[in-house]
A and B are shown apart, each in its own frame.
Chain A
């Protein structure tokens, strides 16, 4: 079974802090993704990576950056946290190839005070 592990289930930070969310997958997948999920807005893609050191912007990249130094690890960085970044953050990984499903971690509930 694919396992995607997010480092924290709950996190509380203050506005202006730099925040790091970590994600690790154990299936050697090429692709990794960061989403945020908000009530009424569904899942929205922030960034994804299709290879080590490669990244592409998703639908809502503003205020975020990412890092993928190793294949199994994908980090989401909030450069200067703001209250409107309070959300559930979900990481996913996906194998290369056609019609491959994305597999999700259990999420990090981030609160910015």
Chain B
């Protein structure tokens, strides 16, 4: 059964305090790994696609990396506006059109 697990469930950081969010997956025949940001009351906003182990993508203070079993979202010197829930997702082994989502990490950055 496909599974995507995110940790921690919640993370509180001081402004400027760098950290990482983890996404581990057990999807056979991995066909990409997606990261999304979701603000309260809004739909998920697409951030990154990672296609293969060793790949890295960056956007402002965020950097996503991928290994054969997990992905990390590194947040460098975060600001309060980075506060959101971060979701990762992987195409299902049964159908590449369907995504299996993790339950998310709720990040709070305190000023």
Q: Are B43 and A106 in contact (CB under 8 A)?
A: yes
Query: B86 — which chain A residues lie within 8 A by C-beta?
Result: none
CA of A92 to CA of B38 in the docked complex: distance in angstroms?
A: 14
Contact-residue bracket for chain B: 20 to 34
Contact of B34 among A45, A101, A107 (CB under 8 A): A101
Contact present for A58 and B51 (CB under 8 Å): no
| A63-113 interface (Cβ within 8 A of B) | 90, 92, 94, 98-99, 101-107, 109
Distance between B46 CB and nearest chain A CB, rounded to angstroms: 5
By a CB distance below 8 angstroms, the chain A residues around B95 are 56
Q: How far is the CB of A110 from chain B (nearest CB, A)?
A: 13
Q: In the complex, given contacts A90-B43, A98-B96, A105-B43, what are 20 additional A-B residue pairs having Cβ atoms less than 8 angstroms apart?
A: A4-B43, A42-B101, A42-B102, A43-B44, A43-B87, A45-B99, A58-B98, A98-B31, A98-B32, A99-B32, A99-B49, A99-B91, A101-B34, A102-B46, A103-B46, A104-B36, A104-B45, A104-B46, A106-B41, A106-B42
Residue-wise interface mask of B (31-60) relative to A, using a CB-CB cutoff of 8 A (1 in contact, 0 not): 110101000011111100101000000000
Partner of B31, one of A99, A106, A109: A99
In this assembly, does B78 line the interface, its C-beta being within 8 Å of a C-beta of chain A? no
Please list 12 pairs of residues, one from A and one from B, whose beta carbons are closer than 8 Å in the complex, sorted by A's number. A45-B98, A48-B97, A50-B97, A56-B95, A92-B43, A101-B34, A101-B49, A102-B46, A106-B41, A106-B42, A107-B42, A107-B43
Given contacts A42-B101, A42-B103, A42-B104, contact A104 B96 (CB under 8 A): no
Cα(A63)–Cα(B97), bound, Å: 22
Assess the A102–B99 pair: CB atoms within 8 A. Answer: yes
Question: When A42-B104, A98-B31, A101-B49 are in contact, do A31 and B87 touch as well, CB less than 8 Å?
Answer: no
